[in-house]
């Protein structure tokens, strides 16, 4: 080691060119120069930056965004959103529509602006979709403390409300000093572009630091390309997977969201056709195979088709591709009930590869399917098995057909929800996109939506967040201007967050919204009833003389609400009015909301499945006691899947 007083003789002096910019200006300039490449396709990582300004970011990042817009409007376009959580939803939906190859940055003020991000961040991380959050933070210098919206604590000087974003972010950094910015930004990019690690990424910048100037090495702003490689499966892993598949009599493929992100739908179809293995789909995986393909059995699990669930019950080898095996997919570990069932898990995430004691293949879905197809030789399921697949699928499809065309209305004379879904399905183009997140419709859509295009189905069901729908629809319509987007939203979700209709109007994004008004929570209401809780507290009613929420229906007019936000609104009462409204919405250049009333009682065909929601073990209500008996019976068939699949 050199003595401390030695000079660096003989070394070349550091004359790296620098540029003097604020931390905010440097951040924006850096973000505008990030690119992503996969399969030879290169594009900007950030389509732009959503934001809502407050004192935390208006003069820092706000000034930088203004300067950038004036210099080059294409560099990092700024869009004013209406709610911070909603802006994250819009960014996430956009990114999912782009197979996670592109996303947005989201800038917020400090305090409530920042904490409004938490739900959006949790949604992004749960769904594993990249989004960059740039919440402002309280002063690094603290001279003016406590500042407006600062969480002042007696026990900590460096904790701020932004720390709530840590557990819901896949990467979190706070830039206390300008020198920290390069490592914070590069760390953020690494996680955003890592297929296994991605999710919400937070870089919090204190409001004083945002405005501080620094001499940055120019190289920080060079164009930088993040190459998204495809992880190739190891031969040993492929061999072990092949051993299992070749021995399978009744195999079943389960396609998850990873099939889409990897753009493996063609490889999946080819593999299924080569081997005669049927394909079930999770919520995120739906659309992996066209609904009418002879090997498609549609949705699997708690909201699955009877076809997929019958095959799941018998399956001896389950090949999960890009799936997290959520409780809805596994029917809370009751769907795969063959005592000898074995699993092959293909995933880029080691967390998922290990589930259910599977034979794991830690690799890209497309690469793995291609490798399996190359090596599986003449393996094929029997004609008898394939015939069973076709007949089970046909049986389900007939049920969907009658649910689409019920030939009757609900008890109140309103349209049945299954007919509403059927009309949207039949009157939209195959490439149009249906969007949903929470309520009774995600389950109904999972079961009944006939997907005709791999990108035609977008239901956020990892976080199933009420309020995602309209904001998400905006993002998808922005990502796919050549498709018509139809958001299906319940009155509950609409009331929680319809704010981004205003943003859609502002940006001229012609997203369509089908608003199903049923005066309450059909979903949680029917769950409540099933679990013996009698739909308690799930209806939009006045408080009655009895002191309960069982008075008259509340006089809420959501169509008028949508009109007031600037959308074009059509009130449809009958099937023919509704059909005309869909046709009109497809041609309208404006955001269009179709308001339709339906019943709280929905009528989708039964999945013959289960979802683990615990029922009170002891209760004064007979309805609850009966529900507990059913619950105990299902609990007794729940599995752990602990036997190694090898």
Ligand X SMILES: Cc1ncc(C[n+]2csc(CCOP(=O)(O)OP(=O)(O)O)c2C)c(N)n1
Residues that bind ligand X (CB under 6 A): 438-441, 464-467, 490-493, 518, 521-524
Our CB check for Mg ion shows the closer of 469 and 491 to be 491
The minimum distance between CB 468 and ligand X, in angstroms, equals 9
The minimum distance between CB 240 and ligand X, in angstroms, equals 39
The minimum distance between CB 533 and ligand X, in angstroms, equals 14
Our CB check for ligand X shows the closer of 23 and 118 to be 118
Among ligand X, Mg ion, none, the one that 438 touches (CB under a kind-dependent 5 to 8 A) is ligand X
Q: Tokens in use for 343?
A: 């699993």
The answer to whether the beta carbons of residues 282 and 257 sit under 8 Å apart is yes
CA pair distance 446, 281, nearest whole angstrom: 9
CA pair distance 421, 375, nearest whole angstrom: 42
Instruction: Tell me which residue of 275, 594, 265, 307 sits closest to 452, measured CA to CA.
Output: 265
The minimum distance between CB 417 and ligand X, in angstroms, equals 7
The minimum distance between CB 439 and ligand X, in angstroms, equals 3
The minimum distance between CB 84 and ligand X, in angstroms, equals 15
Backbone torsions φ then ψ of 486, nearest 5 degrees: -120, 105
Residues 453-492 that bind Mg ion (CB under 5 A): 490-492
Residues 488-527 that bind Mg ion (CB under 5 A): 490-492, 518
CA pair distance 640, 646, nearest whole angstrom: 16
Q: What is the per-residue DSSP string for 442-504? A: HHHHHHH----STTSEEE--SS--TTHHHHHHHHHHHH-TTS-EEEEEEHHHHHH--THHHHH
Q: Tokens in use for 226?
A: 């993040």
Among ligand X, Mg ion, none, the one that 24 touches (CB under a kind-dependent 5 to 8 A) is none
Residues 283-312 that bind Mg ion (CB under 5 A): none
Our CB check for ligand X shows the closer of 338 and 499 to be 499
The minimum distance between CB 599 and ligand X, in angstroms, equals 10
Among ligand X, Mg ion, none, the one that 466 touches (CB under a kind-dependent 5 to 8 A) is ligand X
Among Mg ion, ligand X, none, the one that 280 touches (CB under a kind-dependent 5 to 8 A) is none
Angle between helices 61-71 and 23-31 (to 10 degrees): 50
Residue 2's Cα: distance from chain center in Å? 54
In three-state secondary structure terms, 520 is: strand
Our CB check for ligand X shows the closer of 216 and 521 to be 521
CB atoms within 10 A of CB 611: 17
Instruction: State the residue number with the nearest CB to Mg ion.
Output: 490
CA pair distance 436, 256, nearest whole angstrom: 17
Our CB check for ligand X shows the closer of 172 and 540 to be 540
Among Mg ion, ligand X, none, the one that 464 touches (CB under a kind-dependent 5 to 8 A) is ligand X
Our CB check for Mg ion shows the closer of 275 and 517 to be 517
The beta strand positions in 519-591, using DSSP E, are 568-572
The minimum distance between CB 443 and Mg ion, in angstroms, equals 13
Site size with Mg ion, rule: CB under 5 A: 4
CA pair distance 450, 398, nearest whole angstrom: 12
Among ligand X, Mg ion, none, the one that 465 touches (CB under a kind-dependent 5 to 8 A) is ligand X
State the DSSP code for 409: -
State the DSSP code for 416: P
Our CB check for Mg ion shows the closer of 477 and 538 to be 538
Our CB check for Mg ion shows the closer of 239 and 556 to be 556
Binding interface with Mg ion (CB under 5 A): 490-492, 518
């Amino acid at each position: 080691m050199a003595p401390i007083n030695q000079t660096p003789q003989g070394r070349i002096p550091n004359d790296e060119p620098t540029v003097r910019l604020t931390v905010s200006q440097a951040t924006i300039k850096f973000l505008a120069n990030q690119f992503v490449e996969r399969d030879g396709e290169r594009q900007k990582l950030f389509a732009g930056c959503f934001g809502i300004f407050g004192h935390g970011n208006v003069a820092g990042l706000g000034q930088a965004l203004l300067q950038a817009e004036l210099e080059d409007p294409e560099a990092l376009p700024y869009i004013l959103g209406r709610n911070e959580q909603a802006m994250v939803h819009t960014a996430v939906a956009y990114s999912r529509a782009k197979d996670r190859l592109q996303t947005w940055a989201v800038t917020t003020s400090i305090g409530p602006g920042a904490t409004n991000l938490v739900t959006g961040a949790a949604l992004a991380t749960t769904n594993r979709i990249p989004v960059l959050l740039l919440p402002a933070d309280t002063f690094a210098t603290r001279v003016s403390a406590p500042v407006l919206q600062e969480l002042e604590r007696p026990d900590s000087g460096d904790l701020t409300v932004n720390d709530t974003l840590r557990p819901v972010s896949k990467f979190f950094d706070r830039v206390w000093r300008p020198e920290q910015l390069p490592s914070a930004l590069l760390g953020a990019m690494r996680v955003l572009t890592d297929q296994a690690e991605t999710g919400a990424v937070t870089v919090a910048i204190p409001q004083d630091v945002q405005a501080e100037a620094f001499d940055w090495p120019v190289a920080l702003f060079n164009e930088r390309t993040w190459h998204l490689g495809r992880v190739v499966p190891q031969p040993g892993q492929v061999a072990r997977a092949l051993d299992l598949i070749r021995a399978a009599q009744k195999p079943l493929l389960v396609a998850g969201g990873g099939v889409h992100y990897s753009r493996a739908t063609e490889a999946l179809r080819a593999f299924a056709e080569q081997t005669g293995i049927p394909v079930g789909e999770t919520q995120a995986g739906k659309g992996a195979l066209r609904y009418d393909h002879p090997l498609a059995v549609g949705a699997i699990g708690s909201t699955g088709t009877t076809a997929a669930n019958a095959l799941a019950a018998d399956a001896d080898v389950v090949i999960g591709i890009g799936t997290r095996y959520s409780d809805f997919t596994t029917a809370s570990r009751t769907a795969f009930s063959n005592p000898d069932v074995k699993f092959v898990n293909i995933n880029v995430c080691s967390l998922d590869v290990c589930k259910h004691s599977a034979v794991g293949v830690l690799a890209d879905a497309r690469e793995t399917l291609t490798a399996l197809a190359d090596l599986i030789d003449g393996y094929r399921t029997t004609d008898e098995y394939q015939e069973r697949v076709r007949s089970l699928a046909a049986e389900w499809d007939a049920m969907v057909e009658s649910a689409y065309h019920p030939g009757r209305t609900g008890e109140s004379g309103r349209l049945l929800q299954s007919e509403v879904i059927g009309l949207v399905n039949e009157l939209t183009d195959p490439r149009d996109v249906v969007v949903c997140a929470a309520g009774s419709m995600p389950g109904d859509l999972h079961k009944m939506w006939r997907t005709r295009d791999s990108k035609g189905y977008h239901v956020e069901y990892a976080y199933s967040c009420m309020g995602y729908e309209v904001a998400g629809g905006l993002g998808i319509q922005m990502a796919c201007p050549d498709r018509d987007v139809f958001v299906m939203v319940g009155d509950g979700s609409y009331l929680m967050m319809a704010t981004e209709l205003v943003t859609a109007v502002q940006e001229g994004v012609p997203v369509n919204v089908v608003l199903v008004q049923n005066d309450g929570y059909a979903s949680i209401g029917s769950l409540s009833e099933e679990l013996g809780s009698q739909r308690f507290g799930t209806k939009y009613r006045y408080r009655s003389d009895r002191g309960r929420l069982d008075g008259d229906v509340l006089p809420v007019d959501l169509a008028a609400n949508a009109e007031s936000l600037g959308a074009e609104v059509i009130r449809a009462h009958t099937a023919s009015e509704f059909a005309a409204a869909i046709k009109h919405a497809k041609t309208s250049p404006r955001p269009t909301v179709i308001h339709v009333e339906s019943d709280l009682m929905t009528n989708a065909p039964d999945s013959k499945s289960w979802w683990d929601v615990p029922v009170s073990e002891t209760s004064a209500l007979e309805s609850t006691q009966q529900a507990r008996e059913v619950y105990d019976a299902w609990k007794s068939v729940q599995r752990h899947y602990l036997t190694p699949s090898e």
